[in-house]
Structure 1
Amino acid sequence: MIDLLVKRDINVKNELLSGLTVAIALVPEAVAFSFVAGVHPSIGLWAAFFVGFITSLLGGRPGMISGATGAMAVVMTAFVVLYGLQYLFAAVILCGVIQMLCGLFGAGRFIRLLPHPVMLGFVNGLAIVIGLAQVHQLKSNHSVAFNDHTQTFEVAAQWMSGTVLFTTIALILLTMAIIYYFPRLTKAVPGTLVAIVVLTMIVQFTPIKALTVSESVAQMNAIAAEQSAKSKQFEAEKPQLIFSKVNARGQAIAAEDFDPTLATNQESESSVHKAGHFAIPAIPFNLKSLGIIFGLAITLASIGLIESLMTLTLIDELTETRGSSNRECLAQGLGNMVSGLFGSMGGCAMIGQSMINIRSGGRHRLSGITAALCLLGFIVFPPLWSCIGMIPVPALIGVMFIVVIATFEWTSLRLWNKIPPSDIFVIVAVSAITVLADLAIAVAAGVMISALVFAWKKSHQIQAEVSETADVKTYTLTGPLFFGAATSFKEIFTPTEDPSHVNIEFKNTRVYDHTALEAINTICAKYKELGKTVTLNNLSEDCQGLLTRAEPILEVEASEQDFQVAV
């Protein structure tokens, strides 16, 4: 099952270097997504290791990178505030169980039913989301502010300006240039890794300065601790306040000075030491607890599987190979179960990191395993973390912008006059909803729109050729008969004008659902009321089976060759 070195064309050097590059890029992403979820960065880093290692070792798509993701982090935020970390870990474990059940029952194959416009919309939307996340890195002077409408504490920031902004943009462009042009000199070393090393040396050994990873993590820790402490203080005081004083008190708490050292120490005692250590979540094992975590678990499982399987499909197309969707469901489920049991936030496939891996030459399991083990080294060994901490954030922003450019399907911009308008609408809708809401809602909306468009088009294809003799009238149907075509089907017939016997010829049509059966029943009932006989001819075997099973609710009798209305 662990086909680590099955293919003989594996390039071990490229796999190892690609894995190292991915691990370096994973650090700020995991930290950032931890901040989004409202948990300590160590919880996101451990999640990236557990999920990344297990899916790389056992998953269905070699070369795909998994870890803590923004799509899952976004839906965790409110849950953590309401119920706390222990309930989050329990929800992640249940999420893993659900994903493994999906893999066991073969639910992964349903990803093949997604229309191509939905895939294009997903890829474009995700590229925009990744790009916007990098743009927000150009903010500084983070502070905690109180929102009067939601009565919650939020993180506010200001855009960089002046020399700081100019330097940051220059370093980002230099990173992108190195990644783009270095492979023209040699492909022995990934251009992404070279860019990160060069930018780190520039920032560390020249007068040019920029925000580093260690400084960014320290800032995130401090602001997260301040937000958490002030939220707890506000919630403790809120019940004693009269309504008119609530917002004023919230504003006052937000403006108060804060001791980040004390809060950081408290935070480390409550979460850092638990992350990475096996422990059953400390929640009551009863139906009430299950009800609390079940909704989040279903949401996380859905988002994780959709993002992972769509990323798998994308990498399949890029590498011209085929992964196993059901195996990926099982591996991701196991990864999330282990992640929850070891006090971390879970995750799924990361399209950005996967693209970095593919672009850097990672095609096999070795690159993903290397990335996970390197990340573990960064977490466990302080000297390695110190090295990672020296990397300038603009270098990582530049790396992700290259990923955005490579991820976005630029060819979709040339499709405006070449594909149906409905497909264009699906692409735009899925992209927009991915940016404004989340991936699961976007994909569901895209599938629903595509299905409705398909049903609408097919509903107009039911037609009939009419022929009539002295006492028999024959309707020869063509096209599918289903819920969308039921109305058009009924409009074809004229019971009051027809002779005493009517044949309905089904040789060129199919009956698909209960609405179609009810439409047939309605027509037959009208003829019966008028004392006329209807014969249904040349039904396919599956259509006959449908009608036979529906006899209790239809006024149709079965015979060997056809079906006749009981008069």
Structure 2
Amino acid sequence: MKLSIDFRPMLLDRIKGYTSQTLSRDLMAGLIVGIVALPMAIAFAIASGVSPEVGLITAVIGGFLVAALGGSSVQIGGPTGAFIIIVLGIIGEYGMSGLLLATLMAGILLVLMGVLGLGSLIKFIPYPIILGFTAGIAVTIFTTQVNDLFGLGLTALPKEFIPKWGVLLSSLGKTHWLTLAIGVGSVIIIQLTPKVTKVIPGSLVAIILMTLLGYGLKTWGGITELTTIGDRYQISTSLPSFVTPELSWEAIQRLISPAFTIALLGAIESLLSASVADGVIGERHRSNTELIAQGVANIVVPFVGGIPVTGAIARTMTNINNGGRTPVAGMVHAVVLLLIFLFLMPLTAYIPMACLAGVLVVISYNMSGWRSVRAALKGPRSDAAVLATTFLLTVLFDLTIAIELGLLLSMLLFMRRMVESTKILVSRKELALHAHGDDGHHGAQEVLTLPDGVEVYEIDGPFFFGIANRFEEIVSATGDRPKVRILRMRFVPFMDSTAVRNLHILIETSRAQGVQLVLSGVNPRVRETLIATDIVDLIGEHYICSDIHLALEAAVSYITSKEG
């Protein structure tokens, strides 16, 4: 069978009929998004444990590839806050070489997802899981910034959440009040800027003002305790050299779980961003193309020492709000960041760490989605349980465990709902028919009198392993054995392998007891399953009927033949 790959970059379609007016809008949007992305790329890089230029290079290369190859006209790619915690964890355990290999593996997984057409399936990740791990990431990001925000100067914080907070709270007496003032002032500026202008991002205003203030205090005020980026990192303006991730089978085995988490998180965030953008611009993105583009970006960035890339909702919305409508805007944003990297990078050395902490505190607050979390906790208890479990696992353990166990819990709760919603009805003397279904008639409801020795079992819902075992228990619990069991399947959309096996056993057991099984209301999809698994040959074509009237005729015919 030939594999058809769903890959067609949106750029190929949007470039047709491209006008100078569209170009001017894209140039302006790209310029503004590039300015907005600057503080975020630096903040996310430092919070992830890498240098500022790594964040910028990731935004340049990743952002350009996502725009040029992606399935959305307005998607902006780059490093995001969602990856901070997992990147920190990978670097802490496996080093920078481990991160590069995990990112490369995640890129390959994303490409495979797109090639196999899994773009639409990612959308079925339960919303409580997304809310839970996003809120958990927000709390964890805030926790990582408390040290810099308060100027505590701690160098050896525990990795675990509760012990870390124990150390932070016990060290609050060491707060450097000027550092805290700069951090809190940054938060206030970021919050107030949109009330003055929506063109210039508040984070950029805060960084410029606080950097000037910090520079003045250190140069003329004699304040040396104020920590800046330059105090921690050696800023470089040279283009990155080619890096080869260390490949070994042992490393691949160790990193497959973190790589899967990066890939799944990147897929969810990028497709969620593209879906939000669709609703604003009235477009429909190509999910599989988007996954392949995200994969290519994550395959390339490790070779220049970059960190994971995904679609960024905030930057994508900034692009839309400033007139960007084609992938050219995203490509321009990458070029703007490259120019800043080449000519203005040395100035980042003067940015106070407390200012970046303030930027990340605002980002973590916006990520938390506390209003959505509060609303979800008032919903069904099963959804609230999934949300709370995912949140706690993200905060107390790590994102990999949170996503895996969150998905497992969601599937178990979903199956329980399916079992509870699927009904198994037993009729012995009379059978009520409905105007819809497999009764073969479309008039008023009627009640059929069942012949002696005939029982009717009706399954209302999917016939899968949970229902299969329950159905077997109900049949086994019946008292006197009938001569014919009719299994109504008019509302059974599909059967899984466990249901087929149980049905196979039921046919053989019934035959050994002298009971004939008749199937009624079998739809074409279920019939294909019965043919493929040899159930039709076992029970006989005559005993697989399209409606209940034919099934009863087959039952009476069987009883008559036996009595004769």
TM-score range for the pair, normalised by the shorter chain length: 0.7 to 0.9
The alpha-carbon distance between structure 1 residues 485 and 178, as it changes in their structure 2 partners (threshold 3 A), is same
Contact kept, 8 Å, 2:488 with 2:520, in 1: the verdict is yes
Deviation at 1:416, TM superposition (A): 6.1
For residues 378 and 243 of structure 2, the distance between their equivalents in structure 1, rounded to whole angstroms, comes to 56
Counterpart of 1:333 in structure 2 is 295
Task: Name the counterpart of 1:102.
Answer: 113
Residue 281 and residue 117 in structure 1: after superposition, are their counterparts in 2 closer, same or farther (change >3 A)?
A: closer
CA contact (8 A) 1:54 1:331 kept: yes
Distance 1:477 1:411 in 2: 41
Per the TM alignment, residue 291 of structure 1 is displaced from its structure 2 partner at its CA by: 4.8
Map 1:478-493 → 2, pairs under 5 A: 478-493=460-475
> Which among 100, 118, 124 is matched to residue 129 of structure 2?
118
The question of 1:534 aligning with 2:517 is answered yes
- Structure 2 vs 1, CA of residues 18 and 91 (structure 1 numbering), >3 Å: closer, same or farther? closer
The equivalent of 2:362 in structure 1 is: 402
Q: Distance in 2 between matches of 1:211 and 1:57?
A: 45
User: 1:18 is aligned with what amino acid?
Assistant: V
TM-score by length of 2: 0.74
User: 2:402 and 2:312 mapped to 1: Cα distance?
Assistant: 16
**Hey, what's the Cα distance between the residues in 1 that align with 2:524 and 2:512?**
28
CA distance in 2, matches of 1:348, 1:280: 18
2:77 is aligned with 1:65: yes
Post-superposition Cα deviations, 1:146-189, rounded to whole Å, max 9, x if no partner, equal 99xxxxxxxx9998767963223322332222222232233343
Q: Is the 8 A contact 1:304 1:348 kept in 2?
A: no
Mark the CA change 1:128 to 1:320 in structure 2 (over 3 Å): closer, same or farther: farther
Distance 1:359 1:216, change over 3 A: farther
Quote the residue 2:407 is aligned against: 447
Task: Give the superposition deviation at 1:48.
Answer: 4.1
**Structure 2 counterpart of 1:477, one-letter code:** I
SS in 2 for 1:415: helix
Displacement of 1:346 in angstroms is: 3.6
**After the TM superposition, which of the residue ranges 538-547 and 355-364 deviates more from structure 2?**
355-364
Q: Shift of the alpha carbon at 1:456?
A: 0.9
* Equivalent residue in structure 2 for 1:31, among 26, 35, 46: 46
The answer to whether the 8 Å contact 2:75/2:311 transfers is no
Deviations 1:197-255 (A, max 9, x none): 22222223354958778x3354256xxxxxxxxxxxxxxxxxxxxxxxxxxxxxxxxxx
CA distance in 1, matches of 2:238, 2:100: 11
Partner residue in 2 for 1:56: 67
Q: Is residue 476–residue 504 contact of structure 1 (8 Å, CA) maintained in 2?
A: yes
What is the aligned length? 495
Match of 2:435 in 1: none
What's the secondary structure of 1:506's corresponding residue?
strand
Structure 1 residue 63, shift from structure 2 partner: 4.2
> What is the TM-score of this pair, normalised by structure 1?
0.74
CA contact (8 A) 2:62 2:77 kept: no
Measured after TM superposition, the shift of residue 314 of structure 1 is 4.6
CA shift at 1:497, angstroms? 0.7
Pick the aligned partner of 1:277 from 199, 216, 241. 241
Structure 1 pair 22/117, CA: closer, same or farther in 2 (3 Å)?
A: same
SS of the residue corresponding to residue 504 of structure 1 reads: strand
SS in 2 for 1:334: helix
**How far is 1:452 from its partner?**
1.0
Q: Secondary structure at the match of 1:498?
A: coil
Uncovered stretches (5+) of structure 2, i.e. residues with no partner: 1-8, 160-166, 430-450, 546-550
Q: Which amino acid letter does the alignment assign opposite residue 449 of structure 1? A: L
In the aligned structure 2, how far is the partner of 1:91 from the partner of 1:297?
7
Aligned in 2, Cα 1:314/1:379: closer, same or farther, shift over 3 Å?
closer
Cα root mean square deviation, aligned: 4.1
Work out the CA distance in 2 between the residues paired with 1:439 and 1:307.
13
Distance 1:12 1:295 in 2: 44
CA 1:184–1:43 in 2, change beyond 3 Å: closer, same or farther? Answer: closer
- Native 8 Å contact 2:29 2:324 kept in 1: no
Q: Distance in 1 between the 2:385 and 2:241 partners?
A: 48
CA distance in 1, matches of 2:209, 2:274: 29
User: What is the CA–CA distance in structure 1 between the aligned matches of 2:411 and 2:544, rounded to whole Å?
Assistant: 34
Task: Name the structure 2 match of 1:509.
Answer: 492
Query: Structure 1 residues 169, 308: CA separation in 2 closer, same or farther (over 3 Å shift)?
Result: farther
1:463 equivalent in alignment to 2:446: no
* 2:296 equivalent to 1:296: no
One-letter code of the match for 2:131? L
Look up the SS of the partner of 1:278 in the other structure: coil
* Cα distance in 2, alignment partners of residues 219 and 89 from structure 1: 22
Which structure carries more relative contact order (alpha carbon 8 Å, separation 6+)?
1
Deviation at 1:484? 1.3
Deviation of 1:466 (Å): 0.6
Q: Aligned to 1:423, what secondary structure does the other structure show?
A: helix
Shift of 1:110: 1.6
* C-alpha distance in structure 1 between counterparts of 2:533 and 2:273, whole Å: 43
| CA distance 1:216–1:411, shift in 2 (3 Å) | same
**Percent identical:** 23
Contact 1:537 1:561 survives alignment (8 Å): yes
> SS where residue 477 of structure 1 aligns?
strand
